[in-house]
């Protein structure tokens, strides 16, 4: 079974631009979560989607948004980029078997650099 | 914000030695998970321990959980150079809206195993 894939792997943008990152979950996984990883703040939860609905959101400004498609693929968008948005963005998928939190399977990440 | 602390922040050992990493967290949890990350890549799930479990084994890994102290430890026995990586604990809150798809990570322990 193919793992979680993320595109692009590397991205360089300038301040004020916007960016869209893509994530394809493992086949059969309907839950997709996004995380931001920086040296200063570590790994922080951005949001989670399940069946095209955002079920949970972390403490990030409205410039960060996402969506999920009917095939469970997900995208996240960051508008009006700031230098502090430079980070590794990780996508993870899981089976979401119900009440218990499940193990998550992570993609390789997209390294975003904002100049 | 991070759920808790991990210690040590960095650990350097020789091949064949055991490595122990500790994690503390702040709130009640449904389960606690450990992940490994190699050099800024995606995270790999290692083991999940539920709040009603005290110890769990998987190969060379042993995880303990003490919910009264809100702490967990990860023991890697007979370490190998290939175990060199960052190790993160992550907690899942009890079921509810704020827990969907959300892992709350510690700051991580950087483990270096010298051949």
What fold characterizes domain B4-114? Immunoglobulin-like (2.60.40)
Average pLDDT of chain B is: 92
Which position has the token pair 């095209």?
A52
In chain B, what residues touch A104 (CB-CB under 8 Å)?
43, 45, 101, 103
Mean pLDDT of A73-95: 97
pLDDT score of B1 more than 50: no
The phi and psi torsions of A48 (rounded to 5 degrees) equal -135, 140
pLDDT score of A97 more than 70: no
List, for residues B37-91, the tens digit of each pLDDT value: 998 788 999 999 999 999 999 999 999 999 999 999 999 999 999 999 999 999 9
In chain A, what residues touch B106 (CB-CB under 8 Å)?
42
Task: Using CB atoms, pick whichever of B42, B99, B101 lies closest to residue A106.
Answer: B42
Which residues 35-74 of A have a C-beta within 8 angstroms of B?
35, 42-45, 48-50, 55-56, 58-59
Q: What confidence category does residue A98 fall into, taking pLDDT thresholds of 50, 70 and 90?
A: low
**Exposed, middle or buried by CB within 10 Å (0-12, 13-18, 19+), for A103?**
middle
| Cα–Cα distance, B41 to B56 (Å, whole number) | 26
**8 A C-beta contact, residue B18 and residue B79:** yes
pLDDT score of A54 more than 60: yes
pLDDT score of B99 more than 90: no
List, for residues A14-36, the tens digit of each pLDDT value: 999 999 999 999 999 999 999 99
Task: Using CB atoms, pick whichever of A58, A59, A90 lies closest to residue B43.
Answer: A90
Shortest alpha-carbon distance between residue B65 and chain A (Å): 16
Listed residue (B8, B15, B7) closest to B80, CA to CA: B15
The alpha carbon of B16 is separated from its chain's Cα centroid by a whole number of angstroms, namely 20
List, for residues A67-78, the tens digit of each pLDDT value: 999 999 999 999
| Closest CA in chain A for residue B98 | A56
Count the neighbouring beta carbons within 10 Å of the beta carbon of residue B64: 16
Taking CA atoms, B25 is separated from A20, A37, B50, in Å, by 33, 19, 14
Average pLDDT of chain A is: 94
Listed residue (A47, A33, A39, A17) closest to A88, CA to CA: A39
pLDDT score of A37 more than 70: yes
| Closest CA in chain A for residue B32 | A101
Domain boundaries, chain B: 4-114
pLDDT score of B94: 81
Task: Using CB atoms, pick whichever of A43, A49, A100 lies closest to residue B31.
Answer: A100
| Cα–Cα distance, B35 to B108 (Å, whole number) | 9
């Amino acid at each position: 079974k193919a793992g979680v894939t993320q595109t692009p792997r590397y991205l360089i943008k300038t301040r004020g631009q916007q960016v869209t990152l893509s994530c394809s979950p493992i086949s059969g996984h309907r839950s997709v979560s996004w995380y931001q990883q920086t040296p200063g703040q570590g790994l922080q939860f951005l949001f989670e989607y399940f069946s095209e609905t955002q079920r949970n959101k972390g403490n990030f400004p409205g410039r960060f948004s996402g969506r999920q498609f009917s095939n469970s693929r997900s995208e996240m968008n960051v508008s009006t980029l700031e230098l502090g948005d430079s980070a590794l963005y990780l996508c993870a998928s899981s089976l979401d078997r119900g009440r218990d939190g499940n193990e998550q399977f992570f993609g390789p990440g997209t390294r975003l650099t904002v100049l | 914000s991070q759920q808790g602390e991990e210690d040590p922040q960095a650990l350097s050992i020789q091949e064949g030695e055991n490595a122990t990493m500790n994690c503390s967290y702040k709130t009640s949890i449904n389960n606690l998970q450990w992940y490994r990350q190699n050099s800024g890549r995606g995270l790999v799930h290692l083991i999940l321990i539920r709040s009603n479990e005290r110890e769990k084994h998987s190969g060379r890994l042993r995880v303990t959980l003490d919910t009264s102290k809100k702490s967990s430890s990860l023991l890697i026995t007979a370490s190998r150079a290939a175990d060199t990586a960052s190790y993160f604990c992550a907690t899942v809150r009890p079921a509810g809206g704020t827990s969907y798809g959300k892992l709350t990570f510690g700051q991580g322990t950087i483990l270096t195993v010298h051949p």
